[in-house]
């Protein structure tokens, strides 16, 4: 429009005046047009340079991993099966002795055991030994010592007990040996063993002894060339046939010596097996810690060997390489046709190493043909090769699921579904990945429902459960029939496009591949889903380099069998291996920044309770629940249509409904600081998993429990069931129920257990104290709550640090008809609990009284000690019980 006005004005001025004047104006006009054209050219060039990306000249690195052994040599070393009958007499657990759980060596040992998902018990050296046996079995399959000093300097009595245990149950030891701290000590003999240690040695050209029975996952035959970074190695010298080298190396010059140093290329032993022919105990000695990656392999094979196969690893590894964000990406960074060709050729090569290998492509259809001409040709080439790859649905416009409701999510998914149908993309309908892992965990319920309705999703994966780091603690879970598998990173993200700008340089990536973090995922995890992005296959094609390199490295150094199956098969296999992972453990999404970023802005952790009344049943929890609601700053949960005032979230199937469901039972507090949300569920106190689940979601919550005489509690529960028409309570006396044998009918045993077990207070309270410090647990004497609720409520308010402080003298008074305190209503009448509360029933017979006294006595003594240890006031009923 501006250009048009300019031209009209120029034309008008040009036509004015005489022809002579027009000649001058013609020159002016020509000059103006030339200037305008030049300005337009500059503007167009500037716009083009800033809006049209220029593809950087790529320089894809070539995989440099080569195996020294040929296939014939490799076939000579078959993996060992360590299974023997001795494994039947030991437990599937490891005992670890450390000087400090915070030392570098201790952290390495425990993190490796966690990575391998091996159960262990950690003990500080110098303490008494834990119980080593149970019935006729040993509790531990392997004993690990953080340092040799901890073993040889053990108390003589403990050392004898431990050695005898190892001899009797054929249990082996793993011992790490560290260089001496004292300056000048070069060699030292191990007390009691024909073994000499040589300290502070630098080594190079590390290789494994091929002729030993330890190797299962580890494949001998390769050599770690050049110097090993650490120069504080311990090497072993011996003169007894009980010892067998596990690894050798050559001496290397220490880094601090000058160039005139005369090299000593002597071969030394760096890891050693004591076969036990000397004293009946097999031991593996490491001359350095687990920082050296080969030691990780020796470590897990050593555990398998010493445990007689009890703690042995399967050799199959199932892998899936997801390629997120197909068609998505900033122009200038997306795949070209050449990149797609390279991807297909790499896949063909990898199929020779990994059974059924296919790249798994996740697409967002809206971005198709949104790149440069080269990139659009790449999009077309991907679709031309569509049947070469596996496919799964992302979101249509790469939307983050947690930001949308179910209707909008379904609309996006349907568009992506239609795109796949129009372009004949062979989508695996039962697997999907959410962009940014949004809505998978923390769970966004509309995402799971939309997945089910549109794609019938059965499997997904995320790196966020329970947290991104540490990577070895990632787990799977099942929610709404969707199997959520742990996803692994491989060091490649959306912005890691070129090798020369890789964070930390190429060495960091190669270190991860060659024994580092990426290699360890293959070593320890039987099932791996790897996250990559489209940009990692363009530019320098770092994903192709990374996976071709790491798979070659795995093949060189291990006996692992790499396979690929469908995501659905992977999910089934994962939960067959780890059935304990099926149930999720909900965590507070507001205490972890990454989780908060992918949690809906419409949700608030302010709707989670600040304290719980956990029971047990028939101790006065309903009365306390009513008294608490008198306080204006205390807000109770909404009633449940099934369980009335009790939500019962942490102790049953409601837990599987997720925290969105849980939070719906609580109001939005007017003031999140001063208002106190709470819930009362009397079944929580003795719930097996409840303390763990509560602590996972609400680690700072406060806990209130009420304890009365457990015999009275048991009798009250029986009377409660009888009043509610329970068939068993109506047909059996109380004494018959509490003395019922294990051979009694199931319903009788169930009523017996619900009568007796909640009253074993010490057992349940110990579980709560395992997860919560005593300052977060308040114990109410149930007798005092009944006789003097005003004083109790005063103490409860102090425990909660709640304001304003209410004087309950104004709100409670004793009702002589009911026999307990009731709330004073606004009309000055007594507002008491219903008929089912405060019932009067016949006294318990003496036979039952005596039985229960003996049944609970031992536990009550233990309870008294536990309460005293944590500086709790001993309830009046317990003092009376123990004084009789």
Report the 10 Å Cβ neighbour count for 442: 24
User: Token pair of 80, please?
Assistant: 């060992």
Report the 10 Å Cβ neighbour count for 795: 13
- One-character DSSP codes across 62-81: PP----SS-HHHHHTSPPP-
Residue ranges with strand state E in 350-406: 359-363, 390-393
Residues 6+ positions from 11 with CB-CB distance below 8 Å: none
* DSSP character at residue 466: S
d(CA 699, CA 707): 23
State phi, psi for 273 to the nearest 5 degrees.
Answer: -105, 125
Active site residue 858: no
Q: Is the peptide bond before 804 cis (omega within 30 degrees of 0)?
A: yes
CA dihedral sign of residues 462, 464, 468, 474: negative
Q: Which of 509, 515, 573, 518 is nearest to 541 (CA)?
A: 509
Give the DSSP H/E element, type plus range, for residue 201.
strand 195-201
CA dihedral 77, 81, 82, 88 (to 10 degrees): 180
CB 643 within 8 Å of CB 767:
no
Using the structure block, give the residue that is written with the tokens 């002589």.
816
d(CA 196, CA 189): 4
Q: Which of 513, 668, 673 is nearest to 604 (CA)?
A: 668
d(CA 157, CA 480): 55
Per DSSP bridges, beta strands 267-274 and 243-251 are antiparallel
Q: Which of 325, 780, 736, 307 is nearest to 533 (CA)?
A: 325
CA dihedral sign of residues 285, 291, 295, 297: positive
Per-residue burial over 680-700, b if 16 or more Cβ lie within 10 Å, else e, is bbbbbbbbeebbebbbbbbee
Report the 10 Å Cβ neighbour count for 79: 17
Paired strand residues for 197: 188, 236
Angle among Cα 199, 205, 207 to the nearest 5 degrees reads 90
Report the 10 Å Cβ neighbour count for 436: 17
Catalytic residue, chosen from 170, 555, 610, 618, is 618
d(CA 377, CA 79): 47
CB 425 within 8 Å of CB 391:
yes
User: Token pair of 437, please?
Assistant: 């892992």
* DSSP character at residue 207: E
What residues are annotated to the active site? 618
């Amino acid at each position: 429009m501006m250009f048009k006005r300019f031209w009209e004005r120029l034309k008008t001025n040009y036509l004015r005046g005489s022809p002579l004047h027009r000649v001058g104006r013609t020159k002016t006009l020509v000059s103006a047009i030339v200037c305008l054209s030049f300005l337009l050219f500059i503007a167009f060039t500037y716009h083009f340079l800033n809006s049209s990306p220029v593809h950087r000249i790529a320089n894809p690195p070539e995989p440099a991993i080569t195996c020294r052994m040929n296939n014939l040599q490799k076939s000579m070393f078959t993996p060992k099966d360590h299974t023997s009958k001795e494994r039947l007499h030991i437990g599937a657990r490891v005992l670890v002795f450390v000087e400090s759980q915070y030392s570098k060596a201790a952290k390495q040992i425990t993190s490796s055991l966690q990575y391998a998902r091996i159960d262990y018990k950690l003990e500080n050296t110098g303490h008494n030994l834990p119980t080593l046996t149970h019935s006729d079995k040993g509790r531990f399959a392997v004993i690990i010592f953080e340092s040799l000093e901890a073993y040889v300097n053990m108390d003589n009595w403990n050392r004898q007990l431990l050695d005898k245990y190892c001899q009797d149950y054929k249990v082996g030891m793993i011992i790490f040996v560290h260089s001496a701290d004292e300056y000048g000590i070069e060699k030292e003999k191990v007390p009691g063993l024909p073994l000499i240690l040589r300290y502070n040695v630098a080594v190079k050209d590390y290789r494994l002894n091929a002729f030993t029975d330890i190797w299962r996952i580890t494949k001998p035959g390769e050599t770690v060339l050049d110097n090993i970074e650490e120069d504080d190695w311990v090497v072993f010298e011996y003169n007894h046939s009980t010892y067998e080298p596990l690894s050798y190396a050559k001496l290397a010059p220490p880094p601090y010596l000058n160039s005139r140093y005369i090299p000593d290329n002597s071969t030394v032993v760096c890891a050693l097996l004591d076969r036990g022919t000397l004293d009946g105990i097999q031991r593996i000695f490491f001359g350095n810690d687990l920082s050296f990656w080969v030691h990780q392999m020796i470590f897990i094979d050593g555990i398998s060997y010493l445990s007689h196969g009890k703690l042995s690893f399967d050799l199959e590894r199932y892998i899936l390489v997801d390629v997120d964000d197909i068609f998505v990406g900033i122009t200038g960074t997306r795949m070209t046709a050449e990149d797609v060709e390279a991807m297909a050729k790499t896949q063909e090569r990898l199929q020779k190493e990994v059974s059924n290998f296919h790249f798994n492509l996740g697409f967002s259809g809206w971005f198709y043909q949104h790149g440069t001409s080269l990139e659009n040709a790449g999009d077309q080439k991907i679709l031309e090769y569509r049947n070469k790859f596996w496919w799964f649905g992302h979101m249509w416009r790469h939307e983050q699921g947690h930001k949308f409701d179910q209707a909008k999510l379904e609309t996006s998914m349907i568009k992506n579904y239609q795109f796949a149908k129009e372009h004949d993309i062979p989508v695996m309908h039962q697997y999907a990945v959410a962009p940014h892992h949004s809505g998978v965990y923390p769970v966004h319920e509309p995402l799971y429902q939309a997945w089910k309705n549109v794609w019938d999703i059965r499997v997904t994966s995320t790196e966020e459960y329970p947290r991104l780091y540490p990577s070895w603690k990632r787990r799977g879970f099942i929610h709404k029939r969707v199997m959520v598998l742990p996803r692994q990173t491989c060091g490649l993200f959306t912005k890691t496009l070129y090798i020369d700008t890789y964070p930390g340089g190429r060495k960091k990536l190669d270190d991860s591949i060659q024994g580092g973090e990426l290699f360890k995922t293959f070593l320890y995890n039987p099932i791996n889903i790897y996250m990559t992005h489209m940009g990692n296959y363009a530019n320098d094609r770092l994903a192709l380099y990374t996976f071709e390199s790491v798979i070659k490295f795995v093949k060189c150094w291990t006996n692992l069998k790499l396979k690929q199956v469908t995501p659905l098969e992977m999910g089934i296999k994962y939960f067959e291996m780890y059935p304990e992972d099926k149930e999720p453990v909900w965590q507070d999404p507001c205490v972890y920044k990454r989780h908060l970023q992918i949690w809906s802005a419409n949700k608030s952790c302010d709707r989670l309770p600040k304290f719980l009344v956990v029971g047990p049943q028939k101790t006065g929890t309903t009365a306390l629940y009513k008294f608490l609601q008198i306080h204006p700053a205390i807000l109770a949960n909404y009633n449940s249509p099934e369980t009335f005032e009790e939500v019962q979230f942490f102790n049953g199937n409601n837990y599987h409904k997720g925290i969105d469901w849980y939070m719906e039972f609580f109001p939005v507090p007017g003031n999140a600081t001063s208002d106190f949300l709470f819930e009362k569920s009397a079944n929580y106190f003795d719930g097996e998993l409840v303390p763990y689940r509560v602590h996972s979601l609400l680690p700072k919550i406060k806990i209130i429990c009420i304890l009365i005489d457990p015999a009275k509690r048991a009798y009250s529960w029986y009377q409660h069931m009888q009043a509610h028409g329970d068939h068993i309570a109506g047909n059996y006396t109380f004494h018959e129920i509490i003395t019922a044998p294990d051979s009694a009918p199931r319903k009788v045993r169930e009523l017996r257990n619900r009568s007796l077990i909640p009253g074993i207070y010490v057992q349940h309270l110990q579980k709560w104290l395992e997860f919560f410090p005593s300052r977060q647990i308040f114990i109410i004497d149930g007798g005092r709550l009944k006789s003097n609720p005003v004083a109790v409520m005063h103490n409860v308010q102090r425990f909660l640090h709640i304001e304003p402080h209410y004087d309950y003298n104004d709100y409670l008074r004793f009702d002589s008809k009911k026999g307990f305190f009731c709330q004073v209503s606004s009309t000055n009448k007594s507002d008491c609990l219903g008929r089912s509360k405060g019932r009067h029933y016949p006294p318990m017979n003496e036979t039952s009284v005596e039985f229960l006294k003996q049944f609970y006595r031992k536990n009550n003594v233990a309870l008294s000690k536990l309460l005293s240890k944590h500086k709790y006031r001993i309830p009046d009923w317990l003092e009376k019980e123990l004084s009789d």
